[in-house]
A and B are shown apart, each in its own frame.
Chain A
Amino acid sequence: GIQVEQSPPDLILQEGANSTLRCNFSDSVNNLQWFHQNPWGQLINLFYIPSGTKQNGRLSATTVATERYSLLYISSSQTTDSGVYFCAVERDSYNTDKLIFGTGTRLQVFP
């Protein structure tokens, strides 16, 4: 099956710093999503981004499908950004509808 690798596994930042999270995948995909799991365990949709670039406030994401990677940018980080960030992909195959998750990047932002 498709492999999803996220890096770095852990990231510690001071408030105000910028960061880049990476997601590599081993096969063509037709669906890619970024999620934030907050300290209470809730999964929050950040971006649905199978290709191209999107921005939402301090967060932006870029997926280069032809090179099989996606990047999540966090600018001016805040303590509320802490948690685990997951990338999930769906393989580009007819009607598989199976989201496969990476193991996540754990982000800690300190004041």
Chain B
Amino acid sequence: NAGVTQTPKFQVLKTGQSMTLQCAQDMNHEYMSWYRQDPGMGLRLIHYSVGAGITDQGEVPNGYNVSRSTTEDFPLRLLSAAPSQTSVYFCASSYIGATEAFFGQGTRLTVV
């Protein structure tokens, strides 16, 4: 039982490049979400999904796209990376409703 798995753990991009951060969970959770964490700050919600085929925007969605074709996977896409997207990204999953959320180990992204 791996829980929430994020890949890669580290990534350096040049401005304007695109990439996809992968997130997979094996707990059959309906709800998945992406957060970013900047120095000295808490986590801020980027996008979330309540099930396959359903996604919605969080607090800071600009510059990011998501899709949810399966229950297990919730990739986060950066179409044209900018230095302002340098951050640590966390993926989380939980059952629908007020239940405990579980987080992946994070992806540290640097855009130069």
A residues with CB within 8 A of B = 1, 4, 30-31, 33, 35, 41-43, 45, 48, 50, 86, 88, 90, 95, 97-104
A35 to B41, CA, bound (A): 14
Q: Give B52 Cβ to nearest chain A Cβ, in Å.
A: 15
Q: How large is the interface on B (under 10, 10 to 19, 20 to 34, 35 or more residues)?
A: 20 to 34
B residues with CB within 8 A of A = 31, 33, 35, 40-45, 48, 50, 58-59, 88, 90, 92, 94, 96-103, 105-106, 108
Chain B residues whose C-beta falls within 8 Å of the C-beta of A102 in the assembled complex: 42
Contact between B41 and A103 (Cβ–Cβ < 8 Å)? yes
Contact between A103 and B40 (Cβ–Cβ < 8 Å)? yes
Chain B residues whose C-beta falls within 8 Å of the C-beta of A45 in the assembled complex: 100-103
Chain A residues whose C-beta falls within 8 Å of the C-beta of B42 in the assembled complex: 4, 86, 88, 101-104
Contact between B43 and A97 (Cβ–Cβ < 8 Å)? no
Contact between B58 and A42 (Cβ–Cβ < 8 Å)? no
Closest chain A residue to B106, Cβ basis? A41
Chain A residues whose C-beta falls within 8 Å of the C-beta of B45 in the assembled complex: 98-100
A48 to B97, CA, bound (A): 13
Main secondary structure of the interface of A (DSSP, over half): strand
Contact between B88 and A97 (Cβ–Cβ < 8 Å)? no
The 8 closest A-B pairs by CB, nearest first: A101-B42, A31-B98, A30-B98, A48-B100, A43-B103, A101-B43, A103-B42, A97-B31
Q: Give A88 Cβ to nearest chain B Cβ, in Å.
A: 8
Closest chain B residue to A92, Cβ basis? B98
Contact between B97 and A99 (Cβ–Cβ < 8 Å)? no
Q: Give B11 Cβ to nearest chain A Cβ, in Å.
A: 14
Q: Given A41-B108, A43-B90, does the pair A97, B40 have CB atoms closer than 8 Å? A: no
Closest chain B residue to A35, Cβ basis? B103
Closest chain B residue to A97, Cβ basis? B31
Contact between B48 and A41 (Cβ–Cβ < 8 Å)? no
Q: Given A97-B48, A101-B42, does the pair A33, B108 have CB atoms closer than 8 Å? A: no
A sample of 21 inter-chain contacts (CB < 8 A) reads: A31-B98, A31-B99, A35-B103, A41-B105, A42-B105, A43-B90, A43-B103, A43-B106, A45-B103, A48-B99, A48-B100, A50-B98, A86-B42, A86-B43, A90-B98, A95-B96, A97-B96, A99-B45, A99-B92, A99-B101, A104-B42
